[in-house]
Amino acid sequence: MSDFKRESTKSIIYLLSRFPCVVVLGARQVGKSTLLGQVFPEAQVFDLERQSIFQRVNSDPELFLQETPRPLLVDEAPLSAGLFKALRVEIDKNRRVMGQFLLTGSSSPQLLQNISESLAGRVAIFELDPLTWHEAVSQSGDNKLLLEDFTNPEQLKQRQPAMSKAELLQLCLHGCYPEPYLGRGDRQYWSLWMENYVKTYVERDVRGLFPQLNLQSFRRFVQMMAYASGNMINYSDFARSLDVSQPTIKHYFEIAEGMFLWRRLSSYAGSSKKRIVKMPKGHLRDTGLINYFLRINDVDDLKSHPQFGRIWEVFIIEQIIRSCNNHLQQIDYSYYRTQNQQEIDFILQGKFGLIPIEIKSGSYTENKQLKTLTKFIEENNCPFGLVINNGDEVFKMTDKIYQLPAIYL
Residues 297 and 370 placed together within one structural domain of the fold = yes
pLDDT at position 22 over 70 = yes
Residues 235, 285, single domain; the answer is yes
Residue 161 and residue 213 share a domain: yes
DSSP letters for 339-378: TT--EEEEEEEETTEEEEEEE-SSS---GGGGHHHHHHHH
Segment 396-405, tens digit of pLDDT: 999 999 999 9
Alpha carbon dihedral 297, 303, 306, 308, in 10-degree steps, equals: 90
* Domain end point (choices 60, 95, 127): 127
H/E stretch holding 101: strand 101-105
Residue 2 lies in a domain: no
Region 194-208: mean pLDDT is: 89
Query: How far is 205 from 106, CA to CA, in rounded Å?
Result: 9
CA–CA gap between residue 20 and residue 101 (Å, rounded): 6
Q: What is the CATH number for 81?
A: 3.40.50.300
The count of structural domains within the chain is: 2
User: CB of 291 within 8 A of CB of 180?
Assistant: no
Q: Which of 18, 40, 30 is nearest to 96 (CA)?
A: 18
pLDDT recorded at residue 141: 43
15: DSSP letter: H
Answer whether residue 283 is part of any domain.
Answer: yes
Is the domain of 247 the same as that of 374? yes
Q: Residues 159-181: what's their mean pLDDT?
A: 91
DSSP state string for 144-168 = -TTTTGGG-GGGGGG---SS-HHHH
- Residue 74 lies inside a defined structural domain of this protein: yes
Cα 123 to Cα 84: distance, rounded to the nearest angstrom: 11
Last residue of a domain, one of 72, 95, 127: 127
Q: Are 32 and 75 in contact (CB under 8 A)?
A: yes
| Same-domain status, 167 and 122 | no
Contact status, residue 33 vs residue 46, Cβ threshold 8 Å: no
Assess whether 123 and 138 both reside in one domain.
no
Which has more pLDDT, 126 or 205? 126
- Percent residues over pLDDT 70 in the chain: 94
Which of 138-147, 211-220, 264-273 ranks highest by mean pLDDT? 211-220
Q: Are residues 279 and 395 in the same domain?
A: yes
- How many CB atoms lie under 10 A from the CB of residue 119? 21
Sign of CA dihedral 255, 260, 262, 264: positive
Half-sphere exposure of 285 (CA within 13 A, CB side): 24
Look at residue 1 in the predicted model and tell me its pLDDT.
47
Residues 274 and 165 in one domain: yes
Q: What is the mean pLDDT of the chain?
A: 90
HEC string for 134-147: HHHCCCCCCCCCCC
Share of the chain above pLDDT 90, in %: 69
193 and 337 assigned to the same domain: yes
Tens of pLDDT, residues 226-264: 999 999 999 999 999 999 999 999 999 999 999 999 999
Identity of the amino acid at 233: I
State residue 109's pLDDT score: 66
pLDDT digits (tens, 9 = 90+) for 334-374: 999 998 889 999 999 998 899 999 999 999 899 888 999 99
Please state the rounded mean pLDDT for residues 22-28. 93
139 pLDDT exceeds 60?
no
Residue 105 lies in a domain: yes
Concatenated DSSP letters for 190-217?
Answer: HHHHHHHHHHHIIIIIIHHH-TTS-HHH
- Mean pLDDT over 179-200 rounds to 92
Q: Which of 97, 127, 157 is a domain's end point?
A: 127
Is residue 41, in this structure, part of any structural domain at all?
yes
Considering the domain boundaries, does residue 4 fall inside one? no
Q: Residue 142's pLDDT band (boundaries 50, 70, 90)? A: very low
pLDDT in tens, 294-324: 999 999 999 999 999 999 999 999 999 999 9
Assess whether 49 and 32 both reside in one domain: yes
Packed helices 81-92 and 108-118: angle between N→C axes, nearest 10 degrees: 30
Residue 3 belongs to some domain of the structure: no
* Structural domain containing residue 394: 133-408
- Please give the pLDDT value at position 166: 93
Model confidence at 273, pLDDT cuts 50, 70, 90, reads: low
The answer to whether position 1 is within a domain reads: no
Provide the phi-psi class of 155: left if phi over 0, else alpha when psi is between -120 and 50, else beta: alpha
Is residue 62 domain-shared with residue 170, that is, in the same domain? no
Q: Taking 90 as the threshold, does the pLDDT of residue 153 lie above it?
A: no
pLDDT per position as a tens digit, 368-390: 889 999 999 999 999 999 999 99
Q: What is the distance between the alpha carbons of residues 100 and 155, in angstroms, rounded to a whole number? A: 40
Task: Indicate if 275 and 256 belong to the same structural domain.
Answer: yes
Q: What is the mean pLDDT of residues 134-142?
A: 67
